[in-house]
Structures are given as C-alpha cells and as structure tokens.
Amino acid sequence: MAYKADDDYDYLFKVVLIGDSGVGKSNLLSRFTRNEFSLESKSTIGVEFATRSIRVDEKVVKAQIWDTAGQERYRAITSAYYRGAVGALVVYDITRNVTFDNVERWLKELRDHTDSSIVIMLVGNKADVRHLRAVDTEAATAFAERENTYFMETSALESTNVEKAFTEVLNQIYQVVSRKALEATSHSTSLPKGQTINVGKDDVSAVKKAGCCSS
C-alpha cells in the first residue's frame, strides 16, 4: 500500500482534545500534526484523529491525538474515545466566556472516564484575538491551579504555544509513565522479574561451565 507507518517509537501516548464547539480544537490538531491552519475548517462530526512523533528525553514519543466533536450531545459518543487516554487538552476560546465556564464540565467528563493520573492541560485558544479577549489569563491560571492542571494560552492561527502545549503534555506524561515504570520495577512486579533473571543467570552460567568443560 502507499501507506507508510511512522518509524519506531519508544512510547505511544493517547491524547484527547476536548472543549466546546468552535474553540479551535481541530485547528490546534492540524497545526501541531501538519502545521496547517484553516480559517475555513469544517465542523467535526464524532471524532477526528491524527498522530505525530516527537522527541522527549532521547526517547521517541508518538502522540495519538483524538479531536472530538464539541457539541454537547456528542459527548455520549466521544466519551468512548477517552478510554486509554493518558493526556488531554481541554480547550476554551479566550474570546468567549461561556466556553471557559464549560471547562469545569469537560474536566468532570474527563475525570469520569479516564485514569486519575491523566495529564490535563487547560488551553486558552485564539490568543491572537487580543481585542476581543473575554477570559483573563489570571483567572484561567488560578482556575488551572485549583483544578491541578497545566495551563497555556495558544493561538493556532499564529502558531504560538501550540507546539509547546502539546510537547509539555507529552513531556509530563512521559514523566508520569517513567515514574510509574520505576515504581513498578521497585516492588509489585519484582517477583516474576526476579525469577526470570535468576533463570537467565543460571542458564548463562550453565552454558559457560559447559563451555569450559568442552574446551
């Protein structure tokens, strides 16, 4: 087929883009994955999907990003896509207060359907439309602190902070995952692992001994 897979990667992270309709989720996604922006984008029906690999800490991280429909009634459907997500960008439009007010609901939605360790970033998009700003950066920062999420203001149009926002989320996920992996190796799963290692060692020594004998 004419299709070519992204080459090797060390980690695969599922990230969802949620937020009210028309806040610019699809453009954030296209900006990040294809470096494209369209003033004439079409409404997202259900979900859309894209991937991009970036480098974090010498590791290649492949981000699987699900862009969801914003209309409220689609939540029943889109929540199915949250499963397995380790990161989320909750997007609002800095020029429309109501989209910011709804962030709380989106967060709730997210926390209901995903693991508690999910990395969440609050994203205030359309930061380029300065003269129409309706949501203060301070208010959003305070809110993000309260909700224990990361926060960034972006502009998909001017391409400001888009890369940074996604990278930051992926980076944080990476931190969480590697921390988890460390914990996992230190206790709970040590039994089976130890066994294997022992077996491995025995085998090696056995082989070596045999080798000595024969030579």
The CB-of-189 to another protein minimum distance in angstroms stands at: 6
Give whichever of 14 and 152 is closer to another protein, judged by the CB atom.
14
Q: Is 54 in the site for another protein (CB under 8 A)?
A: no
The CB-of-143 to another protein minimum distance in angstroms stands at: 15
Q: Given the structure tokens 């609002």, which residue do they identify?
A: 92
In a 10 Å sphere around its CB, with 0-12 CB exposed, 13-18 middle and 19+ buried, how is residue 93 labelled? Answer: buried
Q: Is 148 in the site for another protein (CB under 8 A)?
A: no
Q: Is 58 in the site for another protein (CB under 8 A)?
A: no
Query: Which one of residues 10, 11, 22, 171 is an interface residue with another protein (CB under 8 A)?
Result: 22
Q: Is 34 in the site for another protein (CB under 8 A)?
A: no
Q: Is 43 in the site for another protein (CB under 8 A)?
A: yes
**Cα–Cα distance measured from residue 50 to residue 203, given in angstroms and rounded to the nearest whole number:** 46
Binding mask 86-115 for another protein (x = CB under 8 A): ------------------xx--x--xx--x
Q: Is 187 in the site for another protein (CB under 8 A)?
A: no
Q: Which positions lie near another protein, rule CB under 8 A?
A: 1, 3, 5-6, 12, 14, 21-22, 38, 40-51, 62, 64, 69-71, 73-74, 76-77, 79-81, 84, 104-105, 108, 111-112, 115-116, 184, 188-189, 192-193, 195-196, 199-200, 203, 206-207, 210-211, 213-214
